[in-house]
Structure 1
């Protein structure tokens, strides 16, 4: 997948094309259905497939304190790269950019820049352009005027509509299975391993603490079974993806106040992961965060958590 940010630098080989656009936060199954149709339409017409997205997310400009992103920035782009699209145009979203009318946005980006012959969207495509006035009917009218087709997919879901808001709601409640069902994969975070209080090592369970600026929405406090992936390792390296117990919370037994995400690689005390970039994937919530009255009670609970993680992960292949 070719990624670029300046419309003026659009590769000639990626225009004309079949295109789509959206925020794609989480790249959930609804997004993937649209992107799969995008790729299919492009293949049928012998054209490249291009997705257009924005950085930062529009909510970061207009509602910076109201929305936590599931998969911001590079994490989102890496997920989009797995969908088979040929190109990803990431537009700089500013207050000035947002002043474009729906027609100006579509004509400048898709007609003039990309030479789009088809635009593929979900039926919930709405709220684009100044005043959030653009919708599917706007696209259809502009397509008739400017000579591109519009393909609209029905809302999709399996009992629950596939949406980013549904994923956020499930993660906030610690409902990892439900979030995974909408995402079509385990939820993940990516960040650099930093030094913590070293209590895990002192207790015999050394943990990899993710830096506070890690990418990805932090789920509800609790203990999770999951995977830790060492980004720098080759895909076929047996040391790349390892089973882990992941803790999210403030360590209330030690009167902690800072919320952290830390992962203990099962049965490994020999790893030095400091300064490495890692990805953690949340597969199953074991329990909520609890405050224990003694270190002995904490150690007993941790041993049980790790046994449960082993059982959960034993029959699961990492994504």
Structure 2
């Protein structure tokens, strides 16, 4: 079980010693995973506990909300992804101006040493921390010498290339020299390139939200959909039709054809994300009373862009083709 804390004061007095890493971890992509792998191996070698320190909201949303990037994932999905790596605990610090004003030494002493009993710290090579981002890896190493903890600096995965080629099931560096980053994932999703997003993330991109009532046009056309609320978390990919999965509140994965955007065949439709479950068994009808439930939608492949059709008949024919294509793509994956 992963311990989740929201303040250093919540850490039990008998917890530790620990190995700690620090970061926003938006996306928990392959670069982050490299740091986390070092965290876990170092903790195992030392017989210590492994702890991730992260922040909510994202610092950019506090310092420059007008230009802050859209987050790849909400807090719950970030916690799930971090827990999936096997870490012992996550400290989610509320990011505000008071925290932002802490000097690097105040942060290291108060949070890492006094709060988490850190014996060792594992960080990415581009670490910045403390007031005005005045602290970096050299600062952390100097503080470790003074405060009694060791420091490992990790050159994150993809620093010399990009995971764009699959060699026998193992992603390796490509030729363009780009390192894994949350920015890269956002750029890929903005173009609807969920394959590249999956490669950089190390897993399919997902959104999470409550199922709400829509205009019921899909049901009228024979393709009922689960509509995500407009406050759903996770980066919204480019408009289009995707193959993917709907994961219901019980954890069951259902193959789905997913629509993102405003349906141009009908006027006055606002942009939305909706998933049509493919081949729903008749005996599972009750399981699809999803209204009010929080579900997850995963994006596996982009089928096409959003197109305006001359009428409902042409749209229905295209939707049938979309379902066939999505089924073919997802059939080989199975309900993982």
**TM class by shorter-chain length?**
over 0.9
In 2, Cα distance between equivalents of 1:318 and 1:64: 39
In 1, Cα distance between equivalents of 2:89 and 2:262: 41
Partner of residue 236, structure 1? none
Q: Report if aligned partners of 1:190, 1:280 keep a CA contact under 8 Å in 2.
A: yes
* Structure 2 residues not aligned, in runs of 5+: 159-172
In 2, Cα distance between equivalents of 1:193 and 1:274: 5
In 1, Cα distance between equivalents of 2:35 and 2:10: 25
In 1, Cα distance between equivalents of 2:289 and 2:273: 17
Q: Report if aligned partners of 2:15, 2:117 keep a CA contact under 8 Å in 1.
A: no
State the superposition RMSD in angstroms.
Answer: 1.3
In 1, Cα distance between equivalents of 2:329 and 2:13: 49
DSSP-derived class of the 1:81 partner: helix
Select which of 171, 184, 206 maps to 1:166.
184
In 2, Cα distance between equivalents of 1:256 and 1:33: 46
Q: Report if aligned partners of 1:222, 1:289 keep a CA contact under 8 Å in 2.
A: yes
TM-score of the superposed pair, with normalisation by structure 1: 0.95
User: Which one is further off, 158-167 or 134-143?
Assistant: 158-167
The answer as to 2:201 corresponding to 1:183 is: yes
Partner of residue 263, structure 1? 275
Partner of residue 272, structure 1? 289
Aligned-pair distance for 1:231? 2.3
Partner of residue 212, structure 1? 230
Aligned-pair distance for 1:65? 3.0
Aligned-pair distance for 1:256? 3.3
Partner of residue 295, structure 1? 312
* Structure 1 residues not aligned, in runs of 5+: 234-239
The answer as to 2:17 corresponding to 1:5 is: no
Aligned-pair distance for 1:167? 0.7
The answer as to 2:248 corresponding to 1:241 is: no
Q: Report if aligned partners of 1:20, 1:120 keep a CA contact under 8 Å in 2.
A: yes
Partner of residue 15, structure 2? 14
Select which of 65, 77, 80 maps to 1:78.
80
After superposition, where does 1:75-224 map in structure 2 within 5 Å? 75-126=77-128, 128-157=129-158, 158-159=173-174, 160-224=178-242
Aligned-pair distance for 1:13? 4.2
TM-score of the superposed pair, with normalisation by structure 2: 0.90
Q: Report if aligned partners of 1:227, 1:241 keep a CA contact under 8 Å in 2.
A: yes
In 2, Cα distance between equivalents of 1:14 and 1:89: 13
Aligned-pair distance for 1:317? 3.6
In 2, Cα distance between equivalents of 1:182 and 1:318: 22
Distance 1:121 1:205, change over 3 A: same
Flag as ranges the 4+ runs of structure 1 deviating above 6 A: none
DSSP-derived class of the 2:333 partner: coil
